A and B are shown apart, each in its own frame.
Chain A
Amino acid sequence: MAKVIVYPPTSMILYDLVERMGHKALVVSEAVRNLVTASGIESPPLNVTPEEPKKGLRYAAVDVPSGVRGRMALVGPIIEEAEAAIIVEDPGWLTGCSGCSRTNELVRLLIRTKGIPVLDLSYPTNDDEAKVFVQKIRTFLEGLK
């Protein structure tokens, strides 16, 4: 079972396909869960403290907006943990914690420079593309240890 990071890191389709094929999908919700369900909330309501942007300094410089560093505090450790990656380019509707374009660029860059196997895809627009989409993911995941 390999740890596979998916991009967008909030994707339902990618999370499901990775998990149903027997691997562990690394998604941002796990990091969010650790933050929002931690006992002894320091900074209500979301428990994002000044420590989060500091953690983000590991991935982005101090002059980078704190929003990028804050997001990287969640996504960065997931990238470090990843053993493979599936990237779906330009879905056109990234929202929430995936809604920052600069963070997304940085996430994709860090994944690509990590040297792990990466599968690049686009979201399907018809049935034939969907079959290819699923088959490529299946083949890629079967090739992982």
Chain B
Amino acid sequence: MLVTKYVITSSESNILPSDIAMKIYGSKYIVTVKETCFGVVINGEEEVINALVKEIRALDPAGIFIKDRGFPPGDPRRCRGRRGGGARPGFYMIESESKMLPMISRALAYEGIVPVIPKKKKPLPIKRLEEILKNGLS
């Protein structure tokens, strides 16, 4: 079965989308590659893609992220070249999560003790507020 995956690089990674594309071109695998601004889109048989993804991830284990995609690369139903411009619908999710990738990369590479985060203050429960009011007014 043909599957499609995104390979997305963290903005702090030393690996560029073009490096990944060149790695795929130079590999033994027969896949379709589309280079984008945030990474590459690869399409091929499931076993081939899974093996290739492992090799690509090895370039920068903490800085390269993989995502599954439903539509094949360049599909006219999604490709903006055929739809008259504008980002395709799924791009906004990738754009939003991409901003977090440097943090996630650093967290994946971190091997020390995980810090304890103090609980965020929650708004005062209504019952407690009522008690304070009753005590204060009585």
Contact = CB atoms under 8 A, between A and B. Distances in A.
B107 A20 contact: no
B75 interface: yes
Contacts, number: 102
Contact of A29 (B57, B69, B75, B103): B69
Contacts of B103: 124, 126-127, 129-130
Contacts of A96: 89-90, 92-93
A11 interface: yes
B70 A29 contact: yes
Contacts of B100: 13, 123-124, 130
Interface residues of A, number: 41
A57 interface: no
A13 B68 CA distance: 11
Size category of the B interface is 35 or more
Contacts of A128: 115, 117
Interface in A53-98: 91, 93-96, 98
A27 B67 CA distance: 10
B73 to A, nearest CB: 12
A12 B97 contact: yes
Given A16-B65, A33-B3, A45-B77, 19 more contacts: A10-B90, A13-B65, A13-B104, A15-B68, A17-B104, A19-B66, A20-B66, A29-B67, A29-B68, A29-B70, A31-B70, A33-B4, A33-B70, A35-B70, A96-B90, A129-B117, A132-B115, A134-B104, A135-B114
9 contacts: A10-B90, A11-B93, A12-B93, A30-B68, A35-B70, A46-B77, A95-B89, A126-B103, A135-B107
Interface of B: 2-4, 6, 8, 57, 65-72, 75-77, 89-90, 92-94, 96-97, 100-101, 103-104, 106-108, 110, 114-115, 117
